[in-house]
Structure 1
Amino acid sequence: MKYFEIWKPGKQVSIAVAFTCELSFILFGIEQGIAGIIITGEDFLNQFGNPTGSWLGFIVSIYTLGCFFGCIVNFFTGDMLGRRKTIAVAMCLIMVGVTLQCTSFSVAQLMVGRFITGLGTGMETSSVPMYQAELAKPHLRGRLVCSEALFVGIGLVFAYFLDFGFSYIKTPVAWRVPLSIQIPFAFIVLLMTFTVPESPRYLYFKGKKEEAKRILSYVFDKPEDHPDIVKNYQEIEEAISLETQDSDSSWKAIFVADHARTRYRIFLAYMSMFAQQLGGVNIINYYITTILIESVGLEHTLAMILGGVAVICFTVGSIIPSFFADKLGRRMPLVYGYAGCFICFLMVTILLNFQSNADLKASTGAAAVAFFFLYQLCFGASGNCIPWVYVPELIPLKYRAKGTAIGISSNWLWNFFLVEISPELISAGTRSHKQGLSYLPFVFTNFIFIFQFYFFYPETKNLTLEKIDELFSENRTIFMGLVDQRRFREGILSTAQSDIEKGTTPQSDIEKGTSEHIEIESSD
C-alpha cells in the first residue's frame, strides 16, 4: 500500500503518526459511549420492539462479539496486510457498519451493522497500539500508547454529551445522527493511512531491510549511517535472530514452548486484557444510566447527567498514565489501581444493599454514586491505559501481529460476556431488593487482579522492545514480577540523557511529559 511522504522527516511525520493513532481510539470511544445511552431513548426502543434484559444486552454486545472476530481476522491477516493497511481496512468496515446502523428500521439490520462495525474496531484496536509501540522511543512508549486509551475516554465524553443533547429530540434523529457521527472520524483516519509510513520493524520482518532502514531514517530524521539508526537496526536484527532460534515459524508455534517464551508472554498479554474487562468497568461505561435509575433509584435526567460525570472521571483518571507511565511504570500502578477498584466495588456492594431502607436510601445511594466516580478515577489511572501498552510490549516481533490479536481478542471476548450479562445482573439485584449484590462479583475479581499483576508481570518501563525479549529469554520463572529488570535498562536511560544533552530530546519531554505525544521516533 503506497503512501505519500507529504510530511517532513522527524517531528512532522511523528505528529501525523500520533494523530492517526489517537483519532482512531477517539472513534473507538465514541462507539462505546453512544451505545450506552441510546438504548435508554424512547424512539430507539420503540423502533426495535422495546427489547429488555438479555435480548437488549445481546443487541448491544453483538458489537463486541464483532470486535472479537475482528481480532481473529487480524490474527490471520495482520502479517500479510501490515499495520497501515490493516488500519485502513478497519476504517472501511467501520464506515459500512455505521451506515447500516444509522439507517436501520429492523433489529436484524441494526445487529448486522453493529457486528460489522465491531469487525473493524477489532482489527483497529489490535493494530494501532502495536503500530504506535513500534514507532516510539522506549522512554516515551508508555505515555504514547497510554494516551490512546485516554482518547477513548475523550471519545466517551464526546459521545455521552452528544447523546444527552439529542435525547431531548423525540424523533429518530435522536439516535440516528449520533450514530452517524462516527463516519467522518473513520474517513479522516483512512486518509491519514495514506500519509504515514509502515512500521520499520514490520518491514524488516517481511525482508524489506533497506526500506526499514530508510523509514527509520525518515521518522528519526537522521542519516541512515547515523549511530542511532545503525544501533536501532542492529537491535531489530538481534531480536529477530533470538526469536528464530526455534525453527518452527508456523502460527501453531506460538502455542509451544520456545526460547523467547512466546507462549507465556502471549498468556500474560491475554490476561492483562481479561483483567481490564472483568474488573467491571464496562458495566459502568455501557450501563451507568441504567444503574443509576434501577440500582440507585434516580430519575432519568439526573441519572444521565451523573452518568456523564462518571465518564469524565474515567477520562480524568486516564490522564495520569498518559503523562507519567514511563516514570511510574506499568506493574505497581496496576497493583495500586486494582486495589482501589476492589475497595470501591466493596463499598458500592455494601451501600446499595440499604436501598430498601427508606431512612438510609438517599444517603447510601449518594455515597454509592461517589464510589462509582472514584472507581472510574482509579480504573482510568491504571487498568484502562496500561494493558494497551503491555500487550505489544510483551510479545516478540516475530509473532507480534498474531500475539497482539490474541491479547486484544481477550478484551472483546470478555467485554461481550460482561455486556451481555450486565442487564440481567442489574435487574436481578433490583428484583431481590439487594441492589448491591449485582456488583459483588467485581469485588472478588479486582481483589484477585492485585496479586496477578504483582507476582506475574515484569516492569517494562524504559526497556526497548528488544531488551524485553532478553528479559524473558534469560529468566525462566513464571514470577516475572519478582525479577530485577534494572540491568536490562542499563545504557538505555543514559542514551536518553545523551539525547537531552545533545538537544535531540528536550529535557521538558522527559520531565514534564508535554512533548512526548508528538516526538515519536523509531528508536527502541
Structure 2
Amino acid sequence: MAVELQAAQKSANLEDFDPPMKPKRNKFAIACATLASMTSILLGYDIGVMSGAIIYIRRDLHINDVQVEVLMGIINLYSLIGSFLAGRTSDWIGRRYTIVLAGGIFFIGAILMGFSTNYAFLMFGRFVAGVGVGYALMIAPVYTAEVSPTSSRGFLTSFPEVFINAGILLGYISNFAFSRLPQWLGWRLMLGVGIVPSILIALGVLAMPESPRWLVMRGRLGDARRVLQKISDSDQEAQQRLTDIKLATGIPESCNDEVVEVINKQKSGKGVWKEMFITATPAVRHIIVAVISIHFFQQSVGLDSVVLYSPTIFEKAGITSDNQKLLATVAVGFTKTIFILVATFLLDRFGRRPLLLTSYGGLIVSLFTLATCLTVIGHSDKRVKWAVVLSITTVLSSVASFSIGAGPIAWVYCTEVLPLRLRAQGAAMGVVVNRSICALISMTFLSLSKAITIGGAFFLYGTIATIGWIFFFIVIPETRGKTLEEMEASFGSFRAKPKPNDVAKGPNSDKDGNKKPIQS
C-alpha cells in the first residue's frame, strides 16, 4: 500500500512539471486571416509579373531605361493614395468592406493594363491598380492582427507576406506561361490575368466577420463579443480580449451592449495624427520610430530590385536566353515562398527580434557576396564560372534571408505594436514609408547600376542592411506573448534587450510573471 501511495505521489509530482498543453490553432481565426491576407496577392502578382512582362513591353512599346524604371516603380507611389485613404476608410466602413474595395479597384486596374495600347494608357492602368494595392497593403495586416488569438498572432499576421510571395511566384509563372505567345499579346495577358485573384478575394471576404476591435469602436459590443467567441482559443480569452479592447477605447467595463451602442459614437479616430507626432508620449514615440524604421530598412536593402530586375541581374551573371532568365526567376519565387512559409512557424516559437536580426545578418552576407561576384564578372573578359554560380546562389540566399524575417516581421510587428486608437492610421503611415522607399529603390536601380556598376549598387544595399542590423539591435524590443492591448508597456525606452522574465510572461501576466485573474 505504501509503495502504491509513493508511486501515485511521484506521478503527481511529475505532472506538476509537465509543460502546459498548447492550445489548438483556432480554425475559424485561421480561415479569416487567410481570406484577408489573400488581398496581398495583388501586390505580389504585380511585382512578379512586371519583372518578366517588362522584357516584352520594352520591345513592343519601344521605351527607354528611364521609362522602364518609372513603369516598374510608379505603382508604389500610386499606392500611397490608397494607403492614405485606407486608414480613414477602414474606420468608416469597416475592415472587411475595405478589403472588398481594394480587390474591386485592382480589378479595374488589371483590365486597363491588359487593354493598354500605348505607354500613357499603361501608366493610367498602373495608377488605378496602385490605389488598390495601397488599400490592400494597409488593411490586410490590420484585420489579421485584430482577429488573431494571442497564442498564434505571429503565425497569422505573417500571412500577408506569405501571400505577397505567393503572388510573386504566380506572376513569375504567368510570365513563363505566356512568354511563347506573340509579343503584342503575351505581356497583355500577363497583366490582365490579375483580375482573377481580385475577383476571388472580393467574393471570399464577404464570408468573413468584421474585426471585433472595429465593432467595439463603433459601440457594437454584442457583435464584438460573438466574433471574439469564435476567434479566441477559449471563452475566458474572449472575455479578457473584450475587456482589454473596452479599456483601450475608453469604454467603462460596466457598460452593457445597449448603452455603449449609443455613447461610443465619438470614437472615430479624431486627433490620431496629433497624438502620434505632436503630443506623443515616450512609449508612443518609441513605437512610431520602430514602425517607420522597420518599414524603411525592409525596402532600402534593395530586395525589391532583386525581385523586379531579376532577369537583368541574371543577364549580368551570364544567362542570355529569355526562357532561361524567366525560369531562373521562377526559382527565386519558389525560394521566397518556401522560406516565408518556414518563417510563419518560427515567429511564435523564437520571437520577432531574433528572427529579424538573423534575417538581416543573412542579407548582409548575401548582398556583399553578390556584389563581389557581379563586380568580378563585370571586370572579366571571359566567363568566370564560379562567380556566375555564386551570383545565382546568393540571389536565392538573399531572398531566403529576407523572407525568414525582414519580409514578414515588418507587417507582423507594426500591426501588433500600434495601440488600437492609432492602429489604422499608424499602419497606413507604415505602408506610406514602405511604398515610398520601394518606389525610390525600384525607380533608380538601372540608373544606379549605370552610375556605380551593378556590383556597386549591391555593395550600397549591403551597407544599408548592416546599419539596419545595428539599429534594430538597439531599438527593437521583443513583443512575443503579449496581447495587443499590453504592447504599449513594452516601449518608452530605447533599451531593446528584454528583462530576463519578459519572455516567460504570458499575455495576461502581472509584472512578476504570475497569471492575472480573468475578469468575468
TM over 0.5: yes
Range 354-363 or range 462-471, more displaced? 354-363
Distance 1:172 1:489 in 2: 60
Structure 1 residues 125-150: Cα deviation after superposition (integer angstroms, max 9, x where no partner)? 10111101111111201111113212
**How many residues were matched structurally?**
469
Give the counterpart letter for 2:458 in structure 1. Y
Q: Which residue of 2 is the match for residue 39 of structure 1?
A: 54
Does the CA-based 8 Å contact 1:282-1:415 persist in structure 2? yes
Corresponding residue of 2:246:
237
State the shift of 1:281 in Å. 0.6
Shift of 1:316: 1.9
Provide the rounded CA distance (Å) in 2 between the counterparts of 1:185 and 1:449. 34
The one-letter amino acid of 1:465's match is L
Q: Is the 8 A contact 1:295 1:435 kept in 2?
A: no
Equivalent residue in structure 2 for 1:109, among 121, 124, 129: 121
SS at match of 2:55: coil
- Corresponding letter in the other structure for 2:476: Y
**Identical aligned residues as a percent:** 24
Q: Which has the higher contact order (CA 8 A, sep 6+)?
A: 1
Question: Structure 2, unaligned stretches of length 5 or more?
Answer: 1-24, 252-265, 511-520
Cross-structure match for 1:3: none
| Residues 1:485 and 1:21: Cα distance change in structure 2 (over 3 Å) | farther
Would you say the 8 A contact 2:375–2:455 is kept in 1? Answer: yes
**1:314 is aligned to 2:314:** no
Quote the Cα distance in structure 2 between the aligned partners of 1:16 and 1:313: 25
Tell me the amino acid that sits aligned with residue 58 of structure 2.
Answer: L
1:304 offset after TM fit, Å? 2.2
Structure 1: give runs of 5+ residues left out of the alignment: 1-9, 496-524
Contact kept in structure 2, 1:16 and 1:192, CA below 8 Å: no
* Bigger Rg, which one: 2
Conserved? CA contact 2:283–2:493, under 8 Å = no
Q: Deviations over 1:479-501 (max 9, x none)?
A: 3x124284486343899xxxxxx
* Secondary structure at the counterpart of residue 458 of structure 1: coil
Q: Which stretch of the first structure deviates more once superposed, 21-30 or 177-186?
A: 21-30
C-alpha distance in structure 1 between counterparts of 2:386 and 2:98, whole Å: 50
Indicate if the aligned counterparts of 1:143 and 1:325 stay in contact, CA closer than 8 A.
yes
TM-score (norm 2): 0.84
Alignment correspondent of 2:487: 468
> How far apart are residue 310 of structure 1 and its match?
1.9
SS of the residue 2:147 aligns to: coil
Q: Counterparts in 2 of 1:5-404, with a 5 A limit? A: 13-41=28-56, 44-48=57-61, 50-220=62-232, 226-241=235-250, 249-259=271-281, 261-294=283-316, 296=318, 298-355=320-377, 356-359=379-382, 361-404=384-427
Aligned equivalent of 1:457 = 476
- How far, CA to CA, are the matches of 1:279 and 1:331 in structure 2? 18
Paired residue type of 1:29: G
The letter of the residue matching 1:288 is: S
Q: CA deviation at 1:66?
A: 1.2
Q: Deviations over 1:237-283 (max 9, x none)?
A: 222349x9xx9835322212444733331231121111110111111
Q: CA 1:491/1:316 → structure 2, altered by over 3 Å: closer, same or farther?
A: closer
Computed over aligned residues only, the root mean square deviation of the Cα atoms, in angstroms, reads 2.5
Q: Provide TM-score, normalisation by structure 1.
A: 0.84
1:193 corresponds to which letter in structure 2? V
Give, in whole Å, the separation in 1 of the partners of 2:233 and 2:156: 19
- Cα 1:374/1:186, change in 2 over 3 Å: same
The separation in 2 between residues aligned to 1:23 and 1:169, in whole angstroms, is: 29
In structure 2, C-alpha distance between the alignment counterparts of 1:32 and 1:485, rounded to whole Å: 42
AA aligned opposite 1:239: A
Q: Hey, what's the Cα distance between the residues in 1 that align with 2:272 and 2:320? A: 55
Contact 1:156 1:311 in 2 (8 A): yes
CA distance 1:237–1:339, change in 2 (3 Å): same
Q: CA deviation at 1:361?
A: 2.6
What's 2:465 paired with? 446
